[in-house]
């Protein structure tokens, strides 16, 4: 049982490392009151506001160049913040100990039934059954 657990944990560590390094990003939007539900109107208003942040020249439209520039900057900012959170000792590098700490926290959060393995429903990016 222990070697099976270690094998599963090793596979999950590798998958989570890919996610942590920015190859797949997921996020959840919350309403202002902290609830996980927002109306279509709230959603559209929020997304329009975020989209128009890319309007560098203020003409009310977003060109391809503005869009690409804004997206690249936003992604670089997210990666920098993610890296800073992972770099616990703030030495500008992520060592194996820091990576393992991140992966352990993420695995423990995802493993809702605390059985030491992630079912398909617990793995990030998987569609829920039903």
pLDDT digits 0-9 by tens, 25-71 = 334 444 555 667 889 999 999 998 888 888 899 888 889 999 999 99
Q: Is 111 left (phi over 0), alpha (psi -120 to 50) or beta?
A: beta
78 part of a folded domain: yes
Instruction: Using DSSP, state whether 92 is helix, strand or coil.
Output: coil
C-alpha pair distances (Å), 18 with each of 26, 64, 115 = 13, 29, 23
Which residue is associated with the tokens 């920015």? 22
Domain-embedded: residue 117: no
Whose tokens are 């997921």? That residue is 26
pTM for the full predicted model: 0.52
Domain containing residue 40: 2-27+36-110
**CA 60 – CA 114 distance, rounded (Å):** 50
12 lies in some domain: yes
Instruction: Using CB atoms within 10 Å of the CB of residue 103, give its burial: 0 to 12 exposed, 13 to 18 middle, 19+ buried.
Output: buried
Q: What is the mean pLDDT of residues 109-125?
A: 90
Is residue 41 in some structural domain? Answer: yes
In a domain, 119, yes or no: no
Domain assignment present for residue 98? The answer is: yes
Domain count, the chain: 1
Confidence of residue 3 (pLDDT cuts 50, 70, 90): low
Whether residue 120 lies inside any domain: the answer is no
Model confidence at 17: pLDDT above 90: no
The token pair that represents 95 in the structure block: 């060592």
Burial of 20 (0-12, 13-18, 19+ CB in 10 A): buried
**Domain-located, residue 99:** yes
Q: Which span out of 6-10, 14-18, 54-58 was modeled with the highest average pLDDT?
A: 54-58
């Amino acid at each position: 049982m222990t070697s099976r657990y270690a094998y599963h944990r090793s596979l999950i560590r590798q998958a989570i490392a890919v996610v942590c390094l920015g190859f797949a990003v997921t996020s959840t939007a919350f309403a202002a009151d902290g609830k996980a539900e927002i109306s279509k109107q709230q959603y559209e208003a929020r997304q329009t506001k975020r989209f128009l942040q890319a309007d560098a020249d203020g003409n009310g439209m977003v060109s391809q160049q503005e869009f690409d520039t804004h997206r690249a900057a936003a992604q670089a900012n997210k990666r920098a913040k993610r890296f800073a959170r992972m770099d616990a000792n703030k030495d500008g590098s992520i060592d194996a100990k820091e990576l393992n700490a991140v992966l352990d926290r993420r695995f423990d959060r995802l493993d809702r039934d605390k059985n030491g393995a992630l079912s398909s429903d617990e793995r990030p990016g998987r569609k829920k059954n039903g």
